[in-house]
Amino acid sequence: MVLISEQVLGADVTTTTGADFDLSQRLAAVARELRREHGDPDRTLAAITESAVMNVPAAEAASITTVLRGKFVHSAALTGDLAGQCDAIQQQIGEGPCLESAVEQRTIRIDDMDSDRRWPRFAAAASALGVRSMICFQLYVEGYNFGALNLHSTRHDAFGEDAESIGSLFAAHAAIAFSSAKEEQQIRAALTSRDIIGQAKGMLMERYKLGAQEAFALLSRLSQETNTRLAELAGKVVADAESYAGVEPAGTTRKRAVEPGAKKKAEG
């Protein structure tokens, strides 16, 4: 990954630097970078933090902090040791700008860590690490799950209006990419579950001479009785059938995921 202002953006684009560089071109390049990682949310988040450090003025380290179900704090991606150390402090003491930005859905900027009084325990620990400035952007919200993109600098007053403007647009752009990657992953998981259930249903139909509806009813009933997710139970049925497809040692008996009397349960 390289600085976006140094990337080849197309034959019809003239690359410039500094304030003259078109922010829309910068974001378009980021979008292309994130699309390359779109199938893997973890790699998408890593691409976000790396690009943020390279493209937001004064940023030296970055992290994406997630707050799951409103209370479990997790560093989803890190670029630079300072980012990881700052996240660890907030996880330990349960407060700090990253957490508040994520949960309260707002941008938070710290210009001078030594004089900031909003989170005294965090500020003292972060200052001891050498962090002098921070800026945190709310990244995404999904139910009780929250996230923030956090940028760190070892200089006082590091993040000005330009950094805040570029960072906020960057965070919004990145949030869409991450959301798309997560949605695609969920769709893939759903399709995989559907395929496994279909395989299990077909195996039950063949083994017990059931119709399609009867086989699905059998799976559903066993899922409820054993308190097992339907896809998980289907996976056990498929694995069981595949194991019995081989040659078993003489005198060996295995417990099947679906017992021979299962047809009667489906019909009952």
Q: How do residues 230-248 score in pLDDT, each as one tens digit?
A: 888 888 888 887 777 653 4
CB contact at 8 A, 67 and 99:
yes
Q: Is the pLDDT of residue 201 over 80?
A: yes
Q: Is the pLDDT of residue 99 over 50?
A: yes
> Parallel, antiparallel, or unpaired for β 133-142 and 108-110?
antiparallel
If one counts every other C-beta atom within 10 angstroms of the C-beta of residue 152, the result is 32
> Parallel, antiparallel, or unpaired for β 72-79 and 133-142?
unpaired
Q: What is the token pair recorded at 137?
A: 């952007």
d(CA 135, CA 166): 12
d(CA 18, CA 15): 10
Q: Is the pLDDT of residue 118 over 60?
A: yes
d(CA 83, CA 60): 9
* pTM value > 0.75: no
Question: Per mean pLDDT, which range of 102-116, 137-151, 236-250 is the poorest?
Answer: 236-250
Mapping DSSP to helix (H, G, I), strand (E, B) and coil, where does residue 253 land? coil
Mapping DSSP to helix (H, G, I), strand (E, B) and coil, where does residue 16 land? coil
Higher pLDDT, 85 or 51: 85
Q: What is the token pair recorded at 244?
A: 């019995």
